[in-house]
Amino acid sequence: MSAIIARASKSLTSLSNCATYWFKVSSEVAKTVYQKEGLQPPTLKEFETVYKKAFADLKNPQQQEKIFNQITSYKPTKESLIQYGSLAIQAAGFFAAGEIVGRALPF
């Protein structure tokens, strides 16, 4: 029984080390892209402008009806299903990696 536990512990440790490594590599790549592209978070004024417009549109009954009609008339194509499926798999992978790293780091 202890051999099974030791083997499981070893595999989980190696998985955790691998996930931690790739998390660090990904964060360094993201940081480099962020710096090279000159990306920056939106200013408070930009943030307020976008959300004020979004909430104003949602309060307008004609705009609500237009959005509802767009949603109900959407017909997915094979390409869009593949694209959204791929995005869902990527999101699930990032979530799983975050769970592994979160459990591995002793905070």
Token pair of 16 as six digits = 């955790």
Q: Are residues 65 and 81 in the same domain?
A: no
CB neighbour class for 20 (10 Å; exposed up to 12, middle 13-18, buried from 19): middle
Please state the φ and ψ torsions of residue 60, each to the nearest 5 degrees.
Answer: -80, 120
Whether the Cβ atoms of residue 104 and residue 20 lie closer than 8 Å to each other: yes
Q: Are residues 15 and 62 in the same domain?
A: no
Q: What's the rounded Cα separation, in Å, for the pair 14 and 6?
A: 12
Token pair of 101 as six digits = 């790293």
pLDDT of residue 1: 63
Span 21-76, pLDDT tens digits: 888 888 888 888 888 888 888 889 998 998 898 888 888 888 889 989 999 999 98
Q: Are residues 3 and 16 in the same domain?
A: yes
Q: Are residues 36 and 88 in the same domain?
A: yes
The dihedral formed by the CA atoms of 46, 50, 53 and 58, expressed in degrees to the nearest 10 = -160
Q: Count of domains in the chain?
A: 2
Q: Which domain holds residue 48?
A: 43-74
Q: Are residues 31 and 59 in the same domain?
A: no
Q: Are residues 2 and 25 in the same domain?
A: yes
